[in-house]
Amino acid sequence: MRKPLILALAALLPHVAQAQLAAGSVQQNIDQSIQLLPSRPGKLKPLAPIDVLDTDHTESIQRLANVHVRGQVLEAEIQAYWKPSLGQAVGADAIGQFNGWLFARARQMGYLFYARTRVVRQQGQETLEVTLIQPKIHGVRIVSDRADLQLQYGSVVLQRLERHFRAGTLIDTLALDQNLDSATYDLPIQLDATLRAVGPDQVDMIVHMAGITDEAGKRLDALLQLNYHGLKSYGRAQTLALLSLRGHEPRATLTMVGQKSEGITYGRAEYESAIAGMASRWRVWGALSDSHTVLGGAAASQGETSEVGAGITQIFDSHRDFVFRQSMELAARRSRSGLKDSGITTTRVHDQQFRMRTVVDNEKLALDASRLDFQFTIGNYSLLEGLGAIDSGGYAKVELGLKHQFSLSEDRSVYALTRLRSQLSSGRLDSYNQIALGGVSGVRAYTTVDGVGDDGALLSLEIKKRLDNGMTLGTFYDAGVVKPLNPQSIEYRRSYSLQAIGLELSGHHQRLHYGLQLAKGIGGYKGWTGSTYNTESRPDNWRLNVALTYFM
């Protein structure tokens, strides 16, 4: 009797049916807000230059007549560097500054090389001769102030590093940074490398190993964010909080996230810990959300969603500064939606998923970062009520994400960012599993209620400029196409697109980070179901997104 009553209510009250579609997009709106939380500003520890050939002891030049470069790497840039100094006096300190510039420029290219400079005087002219040296690895050694660490982890670390740093190979600084980080992914230690010269073109890599002394319960990170990312139906203004604590071992973390708006209360806790010796970490999580619409009316809805899951992630390969990770997850979700005033349940979903995910990225260390994210999901609807367009039982979907940032100016102050996200599904899915074109990480003139379908693709292009005062200005273009499978009567039955253009501003001052986006929809909205069913957006919509984050 219960199921026929639910189906009858959905058929008789189209406003209610559409209200549930909007309520199902709440979780995607929450997920996008959390994914866009900024990281705490920081910087990499620089690799100190090596004075292999007495580069600190250089001669002065009374009048520089010419520059001769031995070696083809960076020859044009070196000539351009010294061009303003031709015909002028050059002090020893200026040559020392050149050595520092060359070392830094080499690191940007991802390799270690430096210069041996000498002044050649012939026929009354002074020529600066620059010989480029690319040292090779002579050997790798692991050292530690603690004998127990040396005994327990020394051979493991050496084995992992020697896969990429063998005797006779060049020093790849991109790979060095990444591998020092990856080698301790599952170990309670931290590594620091020193390069020690053993000859004019050979260095020893000395890796110092130290323990992590954080105690259980130590605060690792905490932030509070106020944003204007929400849905009208649940309150545009939102508060987000994140707290991360050290767990029972040095690589274990407990992360808690909460979100509150007028109509939404959400919380999530995740615990992650290392599996020593397997380059892996396991994690478990649980999440709860309670939501209700705030616009009132007979179709006002409320809903609850809960999810629990467990997974394991392993580093299985690397290439230069790219790290390859693979994960497997099991998750179970239960959700319910109903009428707020009467308390009648209109939809219920019980969903179980197995996810396999591969991520290849260099985002942690690289300035011009790239990321590939591929996920294959096998799911099962063990219970479906009030969603007649969806078949119960098994389903599958494939998701692909690409991201690439590249500099457009030599000083890296102007750069471009491209993002691609797509999904293919085996059949009609509930709105939690569908792709949404709108939202703060999608077509930014719209919301996660807009452009919802089972198959779709989204592309974003951004050009940004970093200013000297710490601010970043940018412009963007977002475009996506989506198609619902087995569409309902009120839905557009074909694929359609959403597009937007806009401006953005972001920056930080000490512990405060701010961001603002103003977007305008263009090209129409064929899938719009009218203001009766969609209270969030209109065709060619304007939308303002604002976020203010404080790092504690």
Q: Is the pLDDT of residue 442 over 50?
A: yes
How is the beta sheet containing 189-199 ordered, strand by strand? 136-144, 202-211, 189-199
53: Cβ contacts below 8 Å, ≥ 6 apart: 114, 116, 133, 200
Share of the chain above pLDDT 90, in %: 54
pLDDT tens string 100-109: 888 778 777 7
Environment class of residue 448 by beta-carbon count within 10 Å: exposed (0-12), middle (13-18) or buried (19+)? buried
pLDDT of residue 3: 45
How many domains does the structure of the chain reveal?
Answer: 3
Most confident of 103-117, 197-211, 465-479: 465-479
Residues 175 and 118 occupy one common structural domain: no
pLDDT of residue 185: 92
* Position with higher pLDDT, 51 vs 542: 542
Q: Does residue 485 lie in a domain region?
A: yes
Q: Span 283-311, mean pLDDT?
A: 90
What CATH number is associated with residue 344?
A: 2.40.160.50
Q: Does residue 508 lie in a domain region?
A: yes
pLDDT band at 112 (very low <50, low <70, confident <90, very high): confident
Residue tagged 């996008």 (tokens): 32
Domain that holds residue 154: 136-211
97: Cβ contacts below 8 Å, ≥ 6 apart: none
Measured CA to CA, the distance from residue 281 to residue 328 in angstroms comes to 11
185: Cβ contacts below 8 Å, ≥ 6 apart: 251, 274, 279, 280, 281, 315
Q: Span 146-161, mean pLDDT?
A: 91
Alpha-carbon Rg for the chain in angstroms: 29
pLDDT of residue 58: 63
Residues 24 and 96 occupy one common structural domain: no
Question: Could you tell me where the beta strands, DSSP code E, fall in 454-509?
Answer: 455-466, 472-483, 496-509
Residues 317 and 409 occupy one common structural domain: yes
Residues 111 and 150 occupy one common structural domain: no
Environment class of residue 46 by beta-carbon count within 10 Å: exposed (0-12), middle (13-18) or buried (19+)? exposed
pLDDT of residue 109: 72
Q: Where a domain ends, among 76, 100, 133?
A: 133
Q: Does residue 53 lie in a domain region?
A: no
Q: Is the pLDDT of residue 480 over 70?
A: yes
Q: Does residue 48 lie in a domain region?
A: no
284: Cβ contacts below 8 Å, ≥ 6 apart: 270, 271, 308, 309, 310, 311
Residues 413 and 546 occupy one common structural domain: yes
Residues 129 and 140 occupy one common structural domain: no
pLDDT tens string 309-352: 999 999 998 888 899 999 999 999 999 998 887 778 899 999 99
pTM value is 0.84
Residue tagged 């087995």 (tokens): 486
pLDDT of residue 40: 65
* Cα-based distances in Å from 134 to 51, 58, 172, 198, 446: 13, 20, 10, 13, 52
Q: Does residue 161 lie in a domain region?
A: yes
Q: Are 447 and 25 in contact (CB under 8 A)?
A: yes
Query: 35-39, 287-291, 493-497 — which is least confidently predicted?
Result: 35-39
Question: Could you tell me where the beta strands, DSSP code E, fall in 293-413?
Answer: 301-319, 322-339, 345-361, 370-385, 393-407
pLDDT tens string 368-415: 889 999 999 999 999 999 888 899 999 999 999 999 999 998 788 999
Q: Does residue 366 lie in a domain region?
A: yes
- What's the first-to-final CA gap in the chain, in angstroms? 53
Question: Could you tell me where the beta strands, DSSP code E, fall in 484-541?
Answer: 496-509, 512-522
Q: Where a domain ends, among 133, 167, 190?
A: 133
Residues 128 and 158 occupy one common structural domain: no
Residues 410 and 502 occupy one common structural domain: yes
Angle in degrees, 0-180, between the axes of helices 14-24 and 26-35, rounded to the nearest 10? 20
Q: Span 151-178, mean pLDDT?
A: 87
What CATH number is associated with residue 179?
A: 3.10.20.310
Q: Where a domain ends, among 133, 151, 184?
A: 133
Residues 434 and 465 occupy one common structural domain: yes
pLDDT tens string 26-83: 788 878 887 877 776 554 444 444 444 444 456 788 888 888 888 767 888 888 888 8
Share of the chain above pLDDT 70, in %: 91
pLDDT of residue 54: 46
Which of 418, 425, 424, 383 has the alpha carbon at shortest distance from 403? Answer: 418
Q: Does residue 302 lie in a domain region?
A: yes
Element (H, E) at 22: helix 14-24
DSSP 410: T
Measured CA to CA, the distance from residue 552 to residue 219 in angstroms comes to 10
Residues 105 and 128 occupy one common structural domain: yes
Residues 72 and 192 occupy one common structural domain: no
How many other β-carbons are positioned within 10 Å of the β-carbon of residue 23? 27
Q: Span 185-200, mean pLDDT?
A: 86
Residues 312 and 379 occupy one common structural domain: yes
Tokens of 335: 């959700």
pLDDT of residue 41: 58
Q: Is the pLDDT of residue 132 over 90?
A: no
Q: Does residue 238 lie in a domain region?
A: yes
Residue type, 126: E
